[in-house]
Copies of this chain bind each other. A is one copy, B any other.
Amino acid sequence: MLALLLATAVGVGSASAQTPAPASPASAAAPAVKEDFKPSSLNQPGQEYPQVNSQGYVRFRVVAPDAKSVRASLGLGGRGGTTLTKGADGVWVGTSEGPLDEGFHYYHLNVDGGTFNDPGALNFYGGVRWESGIEIPAHDADFYALKNVPHGNVQQILFPSPSTNTSRRAFVYTPPGYDKNQSTRYPVLYLQHGWGEDETAWSNQGHANLIMDNLIAAGKTRPFIIVMTYGMTNDARPGAINSFDIKPFQTVLINELIPYVDANFRTLADQPHRAMAGLSMGGFETKAIAPKNLDKFSHIGLLSGGTFSMEDVNSTPGFKDKVKLVFVSYGSKELSGGNARAPANGAPRPDPKANAEALKAAGLNSVFYVSPDTAHEFLSWRRSLYQMAPLMFRD
């Protein structure tokens, strides 16, 4: 819900280098860094830095004249870091050692041993803090771009939660025309964020609303409502799914949020028209909740967040009859790089593709998607939503 939705998208600049940088002596074969840097599309209004070039390199610039050291947490591929150097003008500048992956990255600065955000960049909730964000323009960015098409709305709701004794927050995407088509009722997807994130992630970082607007305008998906709330995941350590107690969130979702949404929005309030999906730890939550509540959910999506094996299917009464879609996706670098999560109990790492094929062979509507050249980051999940939405609620 930040200013980013108004920001002009940064186009990939001219490929001609204006001021070719000398090749690094240590790796003479490395391509020159092209001097066509432009402000990131996720900068605060009027801020020139950080910048991104047409190759995906990032250049940071931070004013802190009396600092001893300034470092950005973002480097080659999106990991590592970039050390900034102080110029004669007292300003710290640094360029990433290599290009970053396309898409969205969280980062922060280390200034004299303290963690601060980049004053040039907008903030996004991830890693259990409001982090700085930067966007490396993706070659396929058109599918989540702000275009001149009818737009749905994203609204904040505060729903009563007796089990946690407070009003809890969710964001609800309603498709274009929702307010005008007073006789139309819509299916609903409950869509969860990952560990360290919160209910703002899917609209801020994920552009879920723009992805849906564009799909609907192109006639590629049935219009539906998306509900995004906080998964109560951040008390768990990353990856500690086995010690994470799903019950408090399941109570909020099943007993409190779903009835509230069905009472206050024009939903199709039945199992065939209700889906649950999530990214990373939100995928684990989906797998923990949806199969045990097949009277509620018919479509299930795990985005970089686990897979369904035939053992899962066979041990879940009614799965084959009641589940109309099992969508599983990963970023290609998660699969190749060993980042697909191994079970904490030491069992062999599941092969998500083989699992998906086994389900398909057993007659289930099983779809497996791999996002090219992305890791455990938001471009994988934007693309996954774009692939998954058209497969939902096709009755």
Contact = CB atoms under 8 A, between A and B. Distances in A.
Given A66-B69, A179-B264, A111 B113 contact: no
B6 A166 contact: yes
B66 A112 contact: yes
Interface in A128-154: 128-130, 146, 148, 151, 153-154
Contacts of A2: 1, 200
Contact of A182 (B113, B154, B174, B182): B182
A92 to B, nearest CB: 8
Contacts of A23: none
Interface size class of A (residues with CB under 8 A): 35 or more
A62 B114 contact: yes
B66 A68 contact: yes
A293 to B, nearest CB: 25
A30 interface: no
29 contacts: A1-B1, A3-B198, A5-B156, A6-B166, A6-B168, A6-B230, A44-B130, A45-B198, A46-B128, A63-B113, A63-B114, A64-B111, A64-B112, A64-B113, A64-B114, A66-B69, A67-B111, A67-B112, A111-B111, A112-B112, A116-B119, A117-B119, A123-B123, A146-B158, A148-B160, A153-B155, A154-B155, A155-B174, A156-B209
A233 to B, nearest CB: 12
Given A65-B113, A179-B266, 17 more contacts: A1-B156, A44-B129, A45-B234, A64-B111, A64-B112, A64-B116, A66-B68, A66-B112, A67-B112, A67-B114, A68-B112, A109-B116, A112-B112, A116-B116, A151-B167, A153-B156, A182-B182
A64 B66 CA distance: 13
